[in-house]
Structure 1
């Protein structure tokens, strides 16, 4: 089926091949229903009139029959209006389902539905909209992945071809360059694998009560040499143990992503401050981490997009997936992550996680 989404399959009743002479035929089914209703509407009043005529005599029977027929016609008209109105909705649903099955995710059920059918139509249109958005995201993801892989692959191929043609010697510097580009591709593939599991809610979190301050200390210590080499002051403030219910490996991954982003955005002479503390959020205890840098900051019109896949600054060397992965991992813990930034001043990322025992 065109426009396939994972395991999505159109139901049999949406497959137009089943509408042939040997399968389900909605047009004939609806015709039979309407025919039976019409026969019923004719037969019932005829029989009822005969019974009334036998019961009453003279003008009394005529008056009763007229009243009965008038009431029956009014009720019948209202009922038929309701039936045909909903049959039109069923017909539109069948037609739209066929278009969705053919990959046209812009298809929607139009027209006015009865109050009884409106929730069904609204739900169907919301489903179609989600399919359309999902298809667009899938196409965009494939385009972004192709773009991100094309540059390092082009470099590696060019260097190897130059070496094969004898234009360039196989030197340690050239080998390091190739290894660097290969590492970029490996990091992108690792990030994509992590992203696919986090967005699908399939990440297995091995949560335990752990000291978030100690975890942050390990991350700061790991990136300390890189910060010193770049002339950046990287500090940690964690005055006391801060217990949190977390998967230490996954939250360590989030903290590493955030510190790496801060290092990339901060120039020599700048500072990065990591603060860990306990607090309350919506009347529940939480562990809070803030990472504040004095880097280049982010423009106001870009802040809402920082957690989108493959969104990154013009001079960023990352994959553009770090913040997306961090957001999904934090949300998987039942926490929150926000970002505030002023262009030319710096950025602050705040993360809250459930407090530990």
Structure 2
């Protein structure tokens, strides 16, 4: 039996308070060192041969000793590989976890339900097992072991149940600190990377301006001299340069959004004329773009930004459309309670988008299956829609194509910007 049974009530309260104070004083740094220290504190208080803080490893459905007292039995347990207890193997620790009920015995070596390795090779005769609450749910088991029979009392069990709540709080605190640290590190890296990308994009744009001028000069000379080969090469180089300029423009737009410098230049825009222009310029052999809608429809919007959205959505639809099947570009006026709106839908008949991808489709740097870009086009398209006081939504089912729908108020009360 333990010497603690002869303690007075005041002495036991002092011992419990000392234990809780020691546990709360543990630094919220790395989980394993913190739990190892917690195990050692409990081991010394209960004069136990071993104390374990078992945590559930979800991937393998195994109770893993996240912390073990640095004692001879604790070291032997690790050497024998008994610091990992698969739920499928059963045993008293697994039982305490699965039933969420405490377990106590002074004759573990005679218990047919316990694992042979723990009884015979580790030599445990007395054991206490209590569920470990972490973050509002049972996350593991706090176990105390002794090589002596009938070593622990009911008071020890109640004491361990109280301590388990504090150990769980310590474990949860460490987990939260680790998650916050990872998040802060990730955000810092992302901010630094985005700043570098913005600076590089700005410098690249400056270097590309004289390159474009020289290519246009070569193009004019080739056209003047009827040099078909040179003209074809110049046209191809200028097309590639235009794609690179669009990419750089997207990167700079992301920087402007982050810095609050993204603004619109609203003016009357004939959406029908713009949609027809985009359909004509974007169609390619094997990929028709079919316009459907009225003959004229005017909204107050930023012409260049609206063109950017439509070109992005149309190019995206063409990329995922099977050859020979057209992309639809539909314009329609809607009457809502707050006034007149225009709805522009871009549809394809491609393979569709998986539901798990749809959730992140409009996030920056998010890319769908088969995408080779940076994942900025749809992010910027939605931001432009929001800046106009409108919306950009997507509906899609695997095997049933994809529909992007841009909705804008015809005359917003105040121009939106960021």
Give the alignment's TM-score, normalised by structure 1: 0.49
Higher strand share: 2
Higher helix share: 1
Higher RCO (C-alpha under 8 Å, 6+ residues apart) = 1
Give the alignment's TM-score, normalised by structure 2: 0.42
